[in-house]
Amino acid sequence: MTRAINFSAGPALLPEEVLRQAADEMLDWHGSGMGVMEMSHRGKEFIKIHAEAEADLRELMAIPANYKVLFLQGGAIAENAIVPMNMLRGHGVADYINTGEWSKKSIKEAGKYCKVNVAASSEDRAFTYIPPRDSWKLTTDAAYVHICSNETIGGLEYHWVPDTGSVPLVADMSSHIMSRPVDVARYGLIYAGAQKNIGPAGLTLVIVRDDLIGKALPITPSAFDYKQQAESDSMLNTPPTYAIYIAGLVFKWLKKQGGLAQIERHNIAKAALLYDYLDQSAFFSSPVDKADRSRMNVPFKLKDESLDGAFLKGAEERGMVQLKGHRAVGGMRASIYNAMPIEGVRQLVQYMKEFEARRA
Ligand SMILES: *Cc1c(COP(=O)(O)O)cnc(C)c1O
C-alpha cells in the first residue's frame, strides 16, 4: 500500500494512526461485539464515545463552561442558514465581512433571513487581504458580526481576533479549527464542518455561548435549533455517530501531539517552508498579502499558466495529489492541515525547486 501525499482542501487527509485504529476497531469496538457504525446512539458504548469526544474537545480548545458544544449535521453551508435562524434574537440586521468565496456564500444565504450589512470587503483586490478592523462599518444594533476566519479557497486567515464590542462575533472556522489555540470567550459562536481538520464530512461542530441560544426563529427546524439540541446533548436526531467517533480519535491524536499550542508550532513551520520558498522564487508566487496568509491553505501561481498541467502531472508522478487550485482563483493550492506531516511539505518544495530549475 502506498499512501498519497494528499493536499486536498476537503475532505482531507487524516492522521494515519487514527485510520489504523479505526480499521482495527471496525468489527468490534472494545469487546462490545459491534462496530461503532452499528451501535445505538443511546447505548452505553456510544454515550461514552460521545462524552469523551466532547470532553477532549473542551480540554484541547479550553472551552469555557458557559459554552455549549453541539455535534450536528448539515455542514458549514447549512450553518449559513442555521446561524441567522438562531442568532438574530429579535434583531433585523447582521454584519458580515466579505473576504472571499465562503464569506460570499454566507452572505447570500443569510440574506434570506435578515438584512445583511456587508461591513467590509476585500473584493476590490480580488480577496487577497483581510480588511483592517478600523475600516469596518458595523451596525450598532447588529445581531452579530460574521467572519470566515480562514478562507479555504483564497488562502486568507485572520491572525487576530476582531473586537466587536458587545455584539457577538460569529466565525466559520471550518478550515483552520484546532490548527492553533483560540480564545473561545472572544466569540459568541464558532462553527466548522469536520472534513478539513477534524474528521469525516457529515459532522458539524458548533460552539455557542449559552446566553445566545433559545431565541430561534419560529420557522427553525427542531434539528437545527441550538437550544433544543443543547438540551438533548445533540441527540434530538440521530447524530453522525461514526464521524463523532473518528473526530474523537483525532482529538486523542491531537492531545498526543501536545495539544493545540504544539500543533500550531508545527503548522507555522510547515507554512513557513512553503511561503519562504514562494517568496524567493522567480517562477512561483503567492497572491496573498503576507500578514493575512493562511497556514492551512496555500494558493500559489506559476509564472507561466500554460505549465499548470505539466506541474500537476509531475506532482502526481511523485505521489502528490489534489494540488489544483479552486476554479475561482486558478493556479495551485496546497492544503496542509494538521495531519500533513512536514515531510510532505518538504517533498512539495523539493519538487517545485526542480520544476523551476527545469522550466523557468
Ligand atoms: C469547506 C468549507 C465550507 C463548506 O462546508 P460544507 O460541509 O460543504 O457545508 C464552508 N466554509 C468553509 C470556510 C469551508 O472551508
Count up the domains in the chain and report the number: 2
To the query of whether residue 233 is one of the catalytic residues in this protein, the response is no
Which residue shows C-alpha cell 486568507?
156
The pTM score is 0.98
Residue 324's CATH number: 3.90.1150.10
- Residue 193 DSSP label: E
Residues 6+ apart with CB under 8 A from 168: 87, 143, 144, 145, 187, 188, 189, 209, 212
Do residues 318 and 213 both lie within one domain? no
Residues 242 and 269 in one domain: no
172 included as an active-site residue: yes
Nearest to 116, CA basis, from 104, 134, 124? 104
- Cell matching residue 101: 468565496
For residue 66, the CA-to-ligand 1 centroid distance in Å is 26
C-beta of 149 in contact with ligand 1 (< 6 A) = no
336 and 230 in a single domain? The answer is no
pLDDT digit of tens for each residue in the chain (360 aa)?
899 999 999 999 999 999 999 999 999 999 999 999 999 999 999 999 999 999 999 999 999 999 999 999 999 999 999 999 999 999 999 999 999 999 999 999 999 999 999 999 999 999 999 999 999 999 999 999 999 999 999 999 999 999 999 999 999 999 999 999 999 999 999 999 999 999 999 999 999 999 999 999 999 999 999 999 999 999 999 999 999 999 999 999 999 999 999 999 999 999 999 999 999 999 999 999 999 999 999 999 999 999 999 999 999 999 999 999 999 889 999 999 999 999 999 999 999 999 999 987
Would the CB of 109 count as within 6 Å of ligand 1? Answer: no
From the candidates 56, 68, 95, 172, give the one annotated as an active-site residue: 172
Q: Where are the beta strands (DSSP E) in the chain?
A: 5-6, 67-72, 93-98, 115-121, 145-148, 150-151, 156-157, 169-172, 189-193, 204-209, 284-285, 297-302, 320-321, 332-335
Containing domain of residue 68, as a range? 17-256
268/222 same-domain check: no
Q: Which amino acid is at 290?
A: K
